[in-house]
Structures are given as structure tokens and as C-alpha cells.
Structure 1
Amino acid sequence: MNNLEREQKLKRELIVNFDRFINKINMENHENEYLKELLGEEQYKNISDITLTECHVIDCIERNPLINAIGISQKMNITKGGISKISSKLLKKKLIKIYRQEGNKKEIFYSLTPLGREVFLVHEKLHEKLYQRANLFLDRFTDEELKKIIEFISGLSEII
């Protein structure tokens, strides 16, 4: 096998592995498993039926005071209709509440209830756990290799 063939084989292998990685992220299985594990703890039994997308909406609301459905939609790249459905579920589960600013009766904003804040904190634990695992994996690489990986992912992000 000559150099060109070896290079093409490596590129194909990289693309296949990257595609597998993207599919795994899109399925959200890894995060769902951790979420169920964390919510399986006794103190969270009353909120164990929450979805990962609902958690991300809760996270978005907590990190963005004075946010409405349009703002959530833009930040999360989900349709406004999708956000309306999710927010309705979150309201029924008593995880979020709506409010209006004084002088603006038309626009509805969202904030977390105390229970919603608990879900936010569980979601934070989840991300911390994932960050620790990623950090252990990345410890295998030198600074120079990490710079190349960053360059690769940045470049790939531009063409996708």
C-alpha cells in the first residue's frame, strides 16, 4: 500500500468514526442514561420522568434571566412550537413558572420553580460527571495534540 492509499484509508476511517460519534451524540443515549441514574436517587423520585430536552430547556431558562419562548427557541435551535410544547409540559410538572414584566402585559417570560432549580442542579451534576470522564480521556494527549484536535474540530465545524 502506497502513501496515498494509506492516507485515503486513514481519512475514511476518521470520517466513519466521526460519523459514529455524531450519531451517538444525536441519540443522546449517553446523557439519558446518566440522567436516569441521577434521578433514580430517592430525593428525585418525583421528577424521574423528565426528558433530556426538558432538562436542556430548564438549563437555558436558569442561565438566561428574562427569557421567553423566542429566546429559548433561538438559543436551543428548536422551533417556537416545540418550545411551547416543552414549556407546557414543564408547567404541568411544576418545574417552571411564567411571569410578565410590569408594563408589558403581552410578553411571557419563564423562570424556574424550586423543583425546577433541583432539576437544574441534577443536570449540572450530569455535565460535571461527563466533563470528568472527558477530561480523563483528554489527559492522554499532549498540548500539541490537543491543539491539533481543536484545529480539526473547528475546521470541521465550519464545513458542516
Structure 2
Amino acid sequence: MNKKEQVLVDFRSLFDKLAWLNKNKMEVSLQGYQSSEVHCIEYIGKHVDANVTKLAEAFYMTRGAMSKVTRKLINKDLIESYQKPENKKEIYFRLTEQGQKVFTLHEELHEEFRQRDQVVFEEITDEQYDTMLRFIENYKQHLDTEINKLNHANNET
């Protein structure tokens, strides 16, 4: 296996281990909520004026699929919709009190996981961070380009 292949295999393994390690605590603490719901709540909690289009783009879902998720969250009283006085066409979302509780619990879990893993990050130099961040940004840009190509091709058919 060459180094490029090893990087991809190791990235996948790293994320699989992280997901496995965090999964039980997340499921127990956020019982009754699907992962897609929690991540939608997280996005809305961190972004002002979130709407279906922004959510769909962030999660690489169709607007129709995201509309179903947001309807479920509204029915569970986790988010509410609103409109701006100057724009009655667009519908935005914000967290309800219950949604804010889920958001806060999710953030606390992530902080707990960051603290658990802090020992690894203490050993990383600024130069190593810069190298990793450059690589990740380049790879993300490449994947964005490929996604855009695919979306463009699908829209032409």
C-alpha cells in the first residue's frame, strides 16, 4: 500500500474508531433523537437564519429530505419556523427551549470527548497543524469540485 492509500485507509479507520467510541455515550445521552436530527439542531444552533436550502447544502441532502427532517423537529417542539418582516417568502428556523437543551447537551458531549482526546493534541506542533490543515483544505476543495461536477451532470439530465 502506498502512502496515499495509507492516508485514506487511516483517515477512515480514525473516524470509525472515533464514531464507535462516542456512539454509546451519544445514544444514551440523546436517546429518542436520531443522529440527523441532532446534527440539524446543531447546525441551527450555530447558524443564524438557517433555512431548508442551507441545511440541505450543509448535509448534502435534497431540500425535500431536509424538509422532512425539519418537520419532524417542529413536531417534536425542538425547532420553530419564522419569517422576517421584510421577506415573507423565506422560512427560517431557530431552536425552541427544548431544542436548545438538546443542542447544549450535544455540545457538552463533544467537549467531554475533546477533553478525553486532548493528550494527543498537546503533542502537535503549530507547523504540524498547519500541514494537516493545508492538506484537509486541499482535499475538501477537491471533493467540493467533484460534488459540483456531479450535481451539474445530474441537473443536465
Name 1:4's counterpart in structure 2: none
Q: Deviations over 1:2-59 (max 9, x none)?
A: xxxxxx665554443233235x28x9444432322434xxxxxxxx211122111111
Name 2:92's counterpart in structure 1: 109
Name 1:34's counterpart in structure 2: 25
Matched, 1:122 2:98: no
Matched, 1:99 2:92: no
Task: Report which of the two has the higher share of strand.
Answer: 2
Name 2:118's counterpart in structure 1: 135
Q: How does 1:29-108 map to 2 (within 5 A)?
A: 29-39=20-30, 48-108=31-91
Name 2:11's counterpart in structure 1: 18
Instruction: For structure 1, list consecutive stretches of 5 or more residues without a partner in the other structure.
Output: 1-7, 40-47
CA distance in 2, matches of 1:108, 1:154: 32
Q: Which amino acid aligns with 1:21?
A: L
Q: Which amino acid aligns with 1:93?
A: K
TM-score normalized by structure 2?
Answer: 0.72
User: Structure 1 residue 107: deviation in Å?
Assistant: 2.2
Aligned residues of 1:31 and 1:52 also touching (Cα < 8 A): no
CA distance in 1, matches of 2:68, 2:32: 16
User: Structure 1 residue 159: deviation in Å?
Assistant: 4.5
User: Structure 1 residue 153: deviation in Å?
Assistant: 3.5
- CA 1:152/1:114 → structure 2, altered by over 3 Å: closer, same or farther? same
Q: Which amino acid aligns with 1:56?
A: H
CA distance in 2, matches of 1:60, 1:73: 11
Q: Which amino acid aligns with 2:101?
A: E
Aligned residues of 1:100 and 1:107 also touching (Cα < 8 A): yes
- CA 1:32/1:19 → structure 2, altered by over 3 Å: closer, same or farther? closer
Task: Look at both structures and tell me which one has the larger radius of gyration over its CA atoms.
Answer: 1
Aligned residues of 1:35 and 1:52 also touching (Cα < 8 A): no
Aligned length, in residue pairs: 143
- CA 1:154/1:98 → structure 2, altered by over 3 Å: closer, same or farther? closer
Aligned residues of 1:32 and 1:52 also touching (Cα < 8 A): no
